[in-house]
């Protein structure tokens, strides 16, 4: 439900409305702590904020299944799931995290069913399960049916169910609000060491074009992945790594950001995902000679080997001259292989894989029941992200110790609890989002008692006034006509962002006039410019001063690198091509170095020189696209730095100049900061020492 107004202060702000964010929200409002405070008349304030409408979140595109050792079709054991997850991650997995993932997977799936998820059923009424790559029985001996599914639309089912439960519980949503800044403050802990504490966020309301400071005791990042770093991706257009980039800019690190999974079966040259369920139900990969080649690379599990193994095998076939061209471009590059689904049977295919079948018909013009389908690896999932504990707490790695950022949490693909290590198994993503989203929400709930006691006063007597947008109310003190300079880090960040909005909408040469309240619609509602001295806050922001010169978008080429009529969509496309050539599936020192040079010398300067073609702030998609471009650049630089530092090949990460796994030096997590500096954190080995990995 949309709130009647957006407050200027909340107990909990959740950024992102996919499976992780919604699971966290439900865990908070269904907790005993929340109920106790509500009974006392101190109901905690919670807001889910999303740059999309919640039901457009990328969770809805997940197709094949959610992994859990339910044993509904054949005997299964969570210990086998645990082993498969560690092996699948090529032993870069924190084994305590993988154990939690596997042990509580059945409970997570059962809870989803009780919430209303309409799983497919066995003949006797149990949740149906299918085979998925890398999931085995008896510690790797044979594939096992572990993925609970709803035809091939499990993500859609989970997303809609969680959203309905949140609406029914009264959770408030601010949809089409873009979070531009994560604000942290410095504090001294009991030992005398400096630590960080969350202060809140700055967000841009796309409906009104206004910038808002929202204070929060607890902030959870659940912003999804960053597939748009690559040209060929299964990810939706909105997955631009926003949460990860915000963390970097706020002075935090990203863990294992070099590990990106390329799903083996993206529909040729569209990147659209053809679910692993297509192979789980009997689909076979074939090369140009019609040979089912996976037996050469994974003799035991063949087409159901781990995704990184299958993707590298496809690339090996293409390199050997056994690739095929996309039938839509018969004279184009032979960089695909065939997916043969003809053995599944038309009726079974329509019943179990309706979305895959429809996608192939609509976008390839082929009938998969009688024709082979061209596929190639597509960027699918970021294993790395914002480092978190098992309870979802974000931490910094400093001097060999984890330092928790008070009040800051993360869950889902933007986070890294390191349950996936160097490669994620299919079905473990939805599980991760729902399970660790819930655990994060439970952790937040435990903090609420103290938080609301300390700051209950803000729930009453707050001055508000209506905006022009559907009755939504905006805090008065954020309006340009009423605000004054402040030493508060959060509001300083909001002022800096407001100036950035003015610069992007009008060009710097007009900024002096633009900040005059009421002169034109671009400034209506913007926070006044900040003249207060700098404080000690860390803010994920790109102030106006960071750009060198920003000519109007119709200007000719300028010394700062801007091109005539440059735009963020062009830059995202160029960045995707650069990253794909550099680190897609494989890389080496030369490809990494070349990509860094192109980004530093061309893409980044042009991105900082961008301005909008329209001066209207409301519903200006180009404005948010510029911020997304800057976030992708920030994340791309971090990814290249981590890739350059890891001198080995492991899981989804392949260095052709370092083709072997090196446990002695690199059985460690990379921790990369905004400056590209890489530190290392040991992997948590519990009861499974590293061993060779083969399928």
Q: What's the whole-model pTM score? A: 0.89
C-alpha to C-alpha distances, 617 to 467, 559, 627, nearest whole angstrom: 15, 28, 14
| 585 touches 311 (CB < 8 A) | yes
Q: Which of 228, 286, 307, 497 is catalytic?
A: 307
d(CA 66, CA 148): 5
pLDDT for 192: 59
CATH number of 568-678: 1.20.58.100
Structure tokens at 71: 């044993």
| 243 touches 16 (CB < 8 A) | yes
CATH of region 11-259+383-453, choose from 3.40.309.10, 3.40.50.720, 3.40.50.2300, 3.50.50.60: 3.50.50.60
| Residue 664 buriedness (CB in 10 A; 0-12 / 13-18 / 19+) | exposed
Structure tokens at 473: 């109310």
DSSP output for 184-245:
EEEEE-TTS-EEEEEEEEEEEETTTTEEEEEEEEEEEE-----GGGSSSBSS-TT-S-HHHH
Q: In what order do the strands lie in the sheet with 142-148?
A: 66-67, 142-148, 129-137
The helix/strand/coil state of 107 is helix
DSSP output for 551-566:
--TT----TTSPPTT-
Structure tokens at 664: 């002695």
pLDDT for 450: 79
| 501 touches 623 (CB < 8 A) | yes
Is 593 a known active-site residue? no
268-377 matches 568-678 in fold: no
The domain over range 268-377 is classified in CATH as 3.30.450.20 = no
| 334 touches 288 (CB < 8 A) | yes
pLDDT for 6: 87
pLDDT for 94: 98
Q: Residues in the chain with pLDDT < 70? A: 1-4, 188-194, 452-487, 508-564
- Tell me the CA end-to-end span of the chain in Å, nearest whole number: 47
| 285 touches 340 (CB < 8 A) | yes
d(CA 572, CA 665): 35
**If you compute the radius of gyration of the chain from its CA atoms, what whole number of angstroms results?**
25
Domain boundaries, the chain: 11-259+383-453, 268-377, 568-678
pLDDT for 123: 95
Helix extents (H) in 290-331:
294-297, 307-319
């Amino acid at each position: 439900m949309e709130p009647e107004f957006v407050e200027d202060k909340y107990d909990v702000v959740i950024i992102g409305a996919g499976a992780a964010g919604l699971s966290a929200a439900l865990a908070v409002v269904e907790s005993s702590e929340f109920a106790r405070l509500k009974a006392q008349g101190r109901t905690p304030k919670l807001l889910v904020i999303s740059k999309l409408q919640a039901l457009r979140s990328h969770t809805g595109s997940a197709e094949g299944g959610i992994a859990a050792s339910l044993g509904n079709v054949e005997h299964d054991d969570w210990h086998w799931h645990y082993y498969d997850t560690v092996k699948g991650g090529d032993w870069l997995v924190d084994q305590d995290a993988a154990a939690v993932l596997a042990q509580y997977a059945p409970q997570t799936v059962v809870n989803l069913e009780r919430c209303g998820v309409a799983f497919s059923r066995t003949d006797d009424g149990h949740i149906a399960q299918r085979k998925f790559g890398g999931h085995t029985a008896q510690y790797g001996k044979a594939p096992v049916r572990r993925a609970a599914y709803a035809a091939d639309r499990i993500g859609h089912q989970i997303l809609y169910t969680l959203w309905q439960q949140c609406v029914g519980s009264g959770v408030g949503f601010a949809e089409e609000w873009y979070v531009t800044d994560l604000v942290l403050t410095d504090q001294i802990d009991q030992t005398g060491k400096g630590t960080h504490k969350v202060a809140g966020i700055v967000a841009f309301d796309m409906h009104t074009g206004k910038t808002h400071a929202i204070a929060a005791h607890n902030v959870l990042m659940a912003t999804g992945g960053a597939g748009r770093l690559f040209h060929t991706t299964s990810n939706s257009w909105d997955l631009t790594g926003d949460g990860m980039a915000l963390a970097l800019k706020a002075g935090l690190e990203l863990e294992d950001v070099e590990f990106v999974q390329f799903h083996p079966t993206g529909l040729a040259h569209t990147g659209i995902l053809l679910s692993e369920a297509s192979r789980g139900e009997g689909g076979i990969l074939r090369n140009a000679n019609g040979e089912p080649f996976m037996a050469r690379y994974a003799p035991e599990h063949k087409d159901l080997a781990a995704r990184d193994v299958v993707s590298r095998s496809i690339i090996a076939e293409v390199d050997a001259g056994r690739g095929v061209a996309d039938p839509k471009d018969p004279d184009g590059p032979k960089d695909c292989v065939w997916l043969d689904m003809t053995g599944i049977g038309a009726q079974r295919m329509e019943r179990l894989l309706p979305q895959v079948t429809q996608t192939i018909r609509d976008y390839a013009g082929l009938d998969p029941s009688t024709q082979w389908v061209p596929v190639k690896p597509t960027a699918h999932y970021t294993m790395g992200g914002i480092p978190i504990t098992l309870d979802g707490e974000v931490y910094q790695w400093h001097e060999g110790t984890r330092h928790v950022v008070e009040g800051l949490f993360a869950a889902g693909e933007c986070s890294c609890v390191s349950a996936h290590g160097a490669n994620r198994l299919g079905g473990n993503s939805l599980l991760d989002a729902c399970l660790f989203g819930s655990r994060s929400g439970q952790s937040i709930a435990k903090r609420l008692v103290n938080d609301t006691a300390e700051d209950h006063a803000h729930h009453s007597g707050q001055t508000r006034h209506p905006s022009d947008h559907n009755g939504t109310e905006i805090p008065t003190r954020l309006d340009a006509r009423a605000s004054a300079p402040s030493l508060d880090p959060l509001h300083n960040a909001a002022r800096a962002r407001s100036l950035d909005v003015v610069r992007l909408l009008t060009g710097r040469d007009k900024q002096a006039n633009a900040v005059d309240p009421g002169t034109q619609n671009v400034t209506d509602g913007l926070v006044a410019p900040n003249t207060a001295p700098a404080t000690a806050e860390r803010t994920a922001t790109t102030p106006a001063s960071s750009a060198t010169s920003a000519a109007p978008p119709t200007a000719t080429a300028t010394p700062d690198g801007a091109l005539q009529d440059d735009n963020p969509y062009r830059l995202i496309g160029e960045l995707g091509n650069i990253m794909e050539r550099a680190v897609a599936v494989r890389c080496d020192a030369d490809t990494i170095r070349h990509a860094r040079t192109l980004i530093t010398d061309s893409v980044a300067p042009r991105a900082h020189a961008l301005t909008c073609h329209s001066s209207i702030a409301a519903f200006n998609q180009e404005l948010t696209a510029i911020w997304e471009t800057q976030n992708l650049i920030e994340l791309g630089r971090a990814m290249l730095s981590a890739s350059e530092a890891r001198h080995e090949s492991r899981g989804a990460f392949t260095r052709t100049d370092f083709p072997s796994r090196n446990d002695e030096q690199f059985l460690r997590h990379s921790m990369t900061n905004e400056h590209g500096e890489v530190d290392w954190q040991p992997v948590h080995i519990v009861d499974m020492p590293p061993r060779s990995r083969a399928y």
